[in-house]
Structures are given as C-alpha cells and as structure tokens.
Amino acid sequence: MSNGCDLCEAAVITTRYLENELCWIGDCEICQVPMVVWREHGANPSPELKEQMRGFLAGVADQELGEGIWTFDDHMRNIPDHYHAHARPPGFMRHRAR
C-alpha cells in the first residue's frame, strides 16, 4: 500500500462487484464503468496476474455491459503507477470526447 494512492485506499464509493486477495472490481469513480484494480501498489503485475484480473473483469463486464460487446482498456491515464484496467462499452471514448 502506498500512502496517498486512491487505488490503494480502495474506498468503496461506487458499486463494488468483487473483492479477493488479488484485486477488486468496482465502477470507476470518474467514468462509471467496471474497473479491476490490483491490490498491490505497482504498475507491472506479471502477465499471469494480468490474465487472472482480466478474467475477473470479463465476468463482471459481460454481466454489466453485455457479453462480448465491451473492450479491455489498461492504459492507465490518471493513475499511471497503480495497475488498473477498465471495461469500455462500445463508443465509450468517442462519447467521452464530446
């Protein structure tokens, strides 16, 4: 855990879908889409851990956004030093840019 990191704090301020020892999944406070967050503070989990977290996110995203219509986005724009990834619905980035 890193002092001052909002993702390490893991405050439950939006819908929380899943919590386990590896990660938690909740709606992103900023963009309101499901987001998986690694419990360890760092930007580079192993490929195996990323795949596990992606699997957890897929289960939530398929249920919340629709099976097979969302995309995986792990470009960490606002918090680049703590691994997290979003499930983006169709047209999300185009819609947000307007």
CATH hierarchy code of domain 6-97: 3.30.428.10
In the predicted model, is pLDDT for residue 98 greater than 60? Answer: no
Summarize the confidence of residues 2-14 as an average pLDDT.
82
Q: What are phi and psi of 34, to 5 degrees?
A: -60, 135
Q: Give residue 83's identity as a one-letter amino acid code.
A: Y
- Per residue in 23-53, pLDDT (tens digit) is 999 999 988 999 999 999 999 999 999 999 9
In the predicted model, is pLDDT for residue 97 greater than 50? Answer: no
pTM over 0.85: yes
Pick the closest to residue 21 from 46, 52, 51 (CA basis): 52
